[in-house]
Homo-oligomer: A and B are copies of this chain.
């Protein structure tokens, strides 16, 4: 029979370690924080005592005294979108390496949630804030971010350019990626090509749309505004926009969708209407979701680089990466759909 009683064991403090090692608390603190100027004998005695007691410094006490904590807040546009979930995973791994905690905050694409977070943020002694959303920010939120920077909080924008506001930004090259995909479709003789994605309310979306337009123009084609469908992120939006276009009798032989979710919705609408993919209509998405390869037809998509983005964020937090703007290149992952 297992022993079900649990002793409440008081956690060791610096004082306990100090007593065991026969030194003062100050010495323990200094040695455990990596101070070099100590006799080897002392250092070893302290480290051994800490190990033996299983001492772990109390983060609350430490951050109260130091005036700064050990956590980074990651604000994501929508944790249920694969892109943000992947980013969360990679950011967590990168920060863990640095000994930092990750506080994930799901914005659910709501301005009110961002504002709420930013209002409560100053009290939290955050080391940094990584804002990962493509939604355009209201002025007051940018002001709050700058206010936090003034309190020594490192602010980094991910997937959105805020460098014009003095905020370090890490982005992927949406414009050239969209151009790349559009050109690939044109090379395969696809025309007309529709653009499906969020344009208003997302700087990134607008950039993608611009890449699409530029590719068409450079190939000598006119841009037909009836083939530019402004839709939000999720499956339903892709489905609805495509279904409506079909109902209106619009002609197109390819769709460039601004996310894999939108692309999936679009493909469903096409198939429901009896159009084959990629036979009648080719479809390309953005984000290279992990399910893209297991769709039938499998989904051609523009690559996403969460590991690289996280690495750059890490560099900025460590003070190694300089400069306000960092860009990662996307490439085309070709599969069946386009």
List the interface of chain A (C-beta within 8 A of B): 4, 6-9, 11, 56-61, 63-64, 69, 79-80, 82, 85-86, 88-89, 92, 101-106, 108, 120, 122-125, 146-147, 149-151, 166, 234-236, 238-239, 261, 264-265, 267-268, 271-272, 290-291, 293-296, 298
Known: A7-B150, A80-B290, A151-B8. A58 touches B125 (CB 8 A): yes
Complex copy number for this chain: 2
Q: How far is the CA of A104 from the CA of B104 in the complex (A)?
A: 6
Structural contact, B69 and A80, CB atoms closer than 8 A: no
Residues of chain B within 8 A of A4, CB atoms compared: 166
Structural contact, A6 and B149, CB atoms closer than 8 A: yes
Known: A6-B146, A92-B105, A150-B7. A56 touches B291 (CB 8 A): no
Q: How far is the CA of A319 from the CA of B261 in the complex (A)?
A: 40
Instruction: Look across to chain B and name the residue whose beta carbon is closest to the beta carbon of A81.
Output: B85
Residues of chain B within 8 A of A151, CB atoms compared: 8, 11
Instruction: Look across to chain B and name the residue whose beta carbon is closest to the beta carbon of A96.
Output: B116
Structural contact, B123 and A56, CB atoms closer than 8 A: yes
Q: How far is the CA of A6 from the CA of B122 in the complex (A)?
A: 15
Structural contact, A235 and B294, CB atoms closer than 8 A: yes
Contacts A7-B150, A80-B89 known; 6 new A-B pairs at CB < 8 A: A9-B150, A56-B122, A235-B291, A267-B296, A268-B296, A291-B291
Residues of chain B within 8 A of A11, CB atoms compared: 122-123, 151
Residues of chain B within 8 A of A88, CB atoms compared: 79, 104, 106
